[in-house]
Amino acid sequence: LIRSLITKYAMLRSLSRMLRSGEATDHESESKNDEGGHEFELPSPVPEICTLTEEEQKLFQEKLAKNDTTAEEGMDTVSEEEHALRKMIEEELGVAAQDHKDDKVFLASSRIQKLHLFLRKITSEKSTEAKSLSAASILQKMIDSDPIFKEIMTESERARKFLRKLESEEGWEVSHRGKKISSFWKEEKDSETYSFKVMGVVHNPILNLIPLLLETDLYPNWFPMMASAEELFSGSRFHKVVKSTMKMPFPLRIRECIIDGKGYDVMEHNRVVVSSHSISEHPRVNIGQCPEDRIRVDISVGGFELIPVGNQKSHVTVMFNLNPHIPYLPSRIANFFLKHVVNQIHSSMEKHSTFKKGDVAKKKQ
């Protein structure tokens, strides 16, 4: 009991010193982050529900009619219709698979959903005989036979879960609102997790920022308080499993997290999305137990949203919902974490994504 009280007292003193030193630099930090205002309109959120436009319906009908002419001689009407349907479905699923390969998971899932809508529509409009084809059933069987299409829908839902959390305005408390960045936090109800969100402008194009998110060994350079980052697995250029550690003030132990992160090209909605969550096991990675000198943090959902603003700026939103495994986290400490960790991400990303003429030539030499 005495040892526990001493530890808690030391932790509170350490945090108190951090707060006092932090308050002295708050004005300087805020001034740095809030240089220059911004006036622009962000694009609409990624649609939650797909709709089928008249033009898209017309394109599907044209593809169906084209495939109908390739039916073999001697087929009855029903067989011809089924042949045309299967041919069109195969072609559309092939395009969706290529979209997925190109990390355009929203575009891939949208194609599949629109195909569902079209098949449902023509099934309801055709004769009873044609309905027996059950076009939707044909599509579902083809999807079930190839795991890649299940993966498309699973990944799409994972990314949408992140965007729902990021775009939601419910329950967020303002920590800081400035000309360049705004930050928020909330303690989630009925859980031990906290959510942190910061949004603002980075004065560099998206193409300069993406390498920071792709290169694991660069993370400690620009992500505040990160001590190390090790790539454990790379499923594709935009899919990585990373082990990271965060420095903590005495007497708190180092925080460790095993993160599964995936990036998505959503430029059809004018953005790039990176969705991540912590994992305890993986089929291709031996994660193992957390060392005794560390505590493993749980991240239920988190990531980045990058939106181009003109040619030389990017609007960046960072959001994480996590359990830091700290028994008591006062709002003052949460605000400190926002000001001195989360709020610094934008300025740090800007600093490390700014390249001068001759930088590339120097690296080649």
Token code pair at residue 45: 């959120």
Q: Which residues of 291-328 are buried (b: 16+ CB within 10 A; e: fewer)?
A: eeeebbbbbbbbbbbbbbbeeebbbbbbbbbbbbebee
- Supply the pLDDT for residue 82: 77
Residue 31 has pLDDT above 50, yes or no: no
- Higher-confidence residue of 108 and 19: namely 108
273-285 pLDDT per residue, tens: 999 999 999 999 9
37-92 pLDDT per residue, tens: 456 788 899 988 889 999 999 998 888 888 766 555 545 555 777 778 888 888 99
Percent of the chain at pLDDT exceeding 90: 45
Short-list 336, 251, 331, 349, CA closest to 18: 336
Residue 12 has pLDDT above 70, yes or no: no
What number is the average pLDDT over the span 26-34?
Answer: 45
Whole-Å CA distances, 24 to 18, 29, 94: 10, 10, 58
168-192 pLDDT per residue, tens: 988 898 888 888 889 898 888 878 8
Q: Longest Cα pair distance anywhere in the chain, in angstroms?
A: 90
Terminal C-alpha separation, the chain: 61
- Supply the pLDDT for residue 39: 61
- Supply the pLDDT for residue 7: 54
- Do residues 133 and 81 touch, judged by C-beta distance below 8 A? yes
- Supply the pLDDT for residue 88: 87
- Higher-confidence residue of 188 and 336: namely 188
